[in-house]
């Protein structure tokens, strides 16, 4: 026992240390998704619901199986009627201490399909619970993807903001030197300082957003609030745009919401079947093996016995309860079918919107790449002209600002492109993946 405990502790320790090392060295998107889907508490709750659904199936199956029970009884009676016969002992009709023990068994022979329908209904609950787990994994996976790329975007934005601040600090230094030399005015220095302050404020806002995004990422992965978030990855390559009709067909087949809606429709249909069979006769067999005393003529002797029989129960009138259950089940079936029909429309719209967003994002990536090249070229010309005294400090700062804004636009467009691609994957029901 001690050796088993040591082996378990060693395995657990190795697993924990390897995970801690992975977090310390950095996590890829795939590793992040895997960790979330292994450890997030709501998935444990969904798995528990699967076990509960299995328990309900076991309960429903019990109606088909043999039921055996044991009973024992002791009774004391102080009043004992008797018949007095002269010259003979009194003849008692009862005894004071009576004992009885029985074992009884009951077996359902047939209820003409009612139990079968109840079992089928319970099994459909297991299917729904498993699909609900997949939906929870699906949602968490895509939330992890968005959080992962959100952190990368904001960190890259911080880098661009730092470059802008560095450039403005250098411009401020030059302006102050020129002010001392009499070739610049106080207005030039103040204008540069205002731009620098605004750049620092923008960086502060980006940093606040980054901290929130990292906090959400830690929550998803179950990390400590102070744990460093080290990510490995970038925005990767641009995704492809699939044909609309193929994407809609894939979404209708694979979306977890559609699977759950169809499960609910199937469950509602089975409820109708159960309601229709609720008033079926029940044929059962019973048997009893027992031991008791207090039987004439030998009141104090134990007597064993065996009893058996067959019973038939036919519901004749249930106070309209069965009719009410039928009405309820049919209404639930209509509602479930309407939900499936609605989801067909919703999925088609989601996929159409996702494809439109992806096309727009791809177009923005192309245009921002061109914008960055143009702004860098313009910045190079501005520096050259500034060094030659052709343009003012403000024009140089404008060129620098335009270059930084173009870089931020390119980062945002690449982020939007990746997220649009993942949104399309989500709309078509694909499992979360890097």
pLDDT at position 271, please? Answer: 92
Q: Is residue 6 part of a domain?
A: no
pLDDT at position 9, please? Answer: 44
H or E segment to which residue 296 belongs:
none
pLDDT at 90 over 60: no
**Total residue length of the chain:** 434
Tell me, what CATH number does 168's domain have?
1.20.1600.10
Across residues 252-256, what is the average pLDDT?
A: 94
Q: Is residue 385 part of a domain?
A: yes
State which residues form the domain around 361: 27-77+98-427
Q: Is residue 324 part of a domain?
A: yes
How far is Cα 410 from Cα 369, in angstroms, rounded to an integer? Answer: 6
Across residues 362-375, what is the average pLDDT?
A: 94
Per-residue pLDDT tens for 266-307? Answer: 999 999 999 999 889 999 999 999 887 755 555 566 677 899
Q: Report the range of poorest mean pLDDT among 255-264, 392-401, 422-431.
A: 392-401
pLDDT at position 296, please? Answer: 53
Per-residue pLDDT tens for 165-179? Answer: 998 898 888 888 888
Q: Is residue 22 part of a domain?
A: no
Q: What is the average pLDDT score of the chain?
A: 87
SS3 content of the chain, % helix, strand, coil (to 5): 70, 10, 20
Q: Is residue 92 part of a domain?
A: no
How far is Cα 372 from Cα 410, in angstroms, rounded to an integer? Answer: 7
Alpha-carbon distances, residue 202 vs 158, 205, 206 (angstroms): 9, 5, 6
Confidence of residue 16 (pLDDT cuts 50, 70, 90): very low
CA diameter of the chain: 150
Q: Is residue 177 part of a domain?
A: yes
Domain count for the chain, please give it: 1
Per-residue pLDDT tens for 37-74? Answer: 998 999 999 999 999 999 999 999 998 899 999 999 88
How far is Cα 313 from Cα 309, in angstroms, rounded to an integer? Answer: 13
pLDDT at 372 over 90: yes
Alpha-carbon distances, residue 164 vs 128, 171, 414, 418 (angstroms): 54, 10, 20, 26
pLDDT at position 216, please? Answer: 95
Q: Is residue 9 part of a domain?
A: no
Across residues 5-18, what is the average pLDDT?
A: 46
Q: Is residue 433 part of a domain?
A: no
As given in the structure block, the two tokens for residue 189 are 């220095």
pLDDT at position 88, please? Answer: 60
């Amino acid at each position: 026992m001690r050796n088993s405990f040591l082996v378990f502790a060693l395995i657990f320790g190795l697993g924990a240390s390897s995970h801690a090392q992975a977090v310390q060295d950095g996590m890829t998107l795939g590793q992040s998704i895997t960790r979330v889907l292994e450890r997030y508490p709501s998935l444990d709750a969904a798995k528990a619901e699967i076990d509960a659904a299995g328990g309900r199936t076991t309960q429903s199956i019990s109606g088909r199986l043999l039921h055996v029970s044991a009973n024992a009884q002791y009774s004391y009676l102080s009043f004992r009627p008797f018949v007095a016969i002269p010259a003979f002992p009194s003849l008692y009709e009862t005894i004071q201490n009576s004992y009885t023990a029985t074992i009884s068994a009951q077996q359902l022979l047939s209820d003409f399909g009612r139990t079968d329908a109840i079992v089928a209904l319970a099994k459909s609950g297991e299917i729904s619970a498993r699909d609900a787990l997949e939906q929870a994994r699906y949602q968490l996976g895509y939330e992890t993807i968005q959080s992962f790329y959100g952190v990368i975007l904001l960190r890259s934005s911080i880098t661009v903001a730092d470059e802008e601040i560095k450039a403005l600090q250098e411009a401020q230094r030059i302006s102050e030197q020129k002010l001392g030399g009499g070739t610049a005015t106080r207005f030039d220095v103040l204008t540069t300082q205002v731009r620098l302050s605004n750049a620092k404020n923008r960086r502060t806002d980006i940093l606040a957003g980054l901290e929130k995004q990292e906090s959400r990422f830690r929550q998803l992965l179950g990390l400590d609030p102070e744990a460093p978030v080290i990510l490995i990855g970038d925005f990767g390559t641009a995704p492809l745009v699939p044909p609309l009709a193929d994407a809609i067909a894939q979404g209708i087949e694979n979306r977890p919401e559609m699977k759950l809606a169809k499960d609910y429709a199937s469950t509602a249909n089975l409820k109708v079947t159960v309601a229709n069979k609720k008033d079926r006769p029940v044929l059962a067999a019973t048997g009893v093996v027992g031991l008791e005393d207090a039987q004439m003529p030998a009141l104090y002797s134990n007597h064993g016995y065996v009893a058996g029989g067959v019973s038939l129960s036919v519901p004749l009138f249930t106070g309209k309860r069965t009719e009410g259950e039928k009405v309820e089940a049919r209404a639930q079936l209509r509602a479930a079918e309407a939900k499936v029909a609605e989801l067909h429309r919703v999925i088609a719209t989601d996929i159409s919107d996702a494809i439109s967003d992806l096309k727009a994002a791809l177009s923005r990536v192309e245009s921002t790449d061109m914008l960055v090249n143009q702004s860098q070229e313009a910045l190079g010309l501005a520096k050259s002209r500034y060094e030659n005294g052709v343009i003012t400090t403000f024009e140089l700062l404008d060129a620098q600002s335009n270059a930084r804004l173009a870089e931020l636009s390119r980062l945002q467009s690449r982020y939007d492109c990746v997220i649009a691609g993942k949104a399309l994957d989500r709309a078509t029901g694909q499992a979360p993946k890097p």
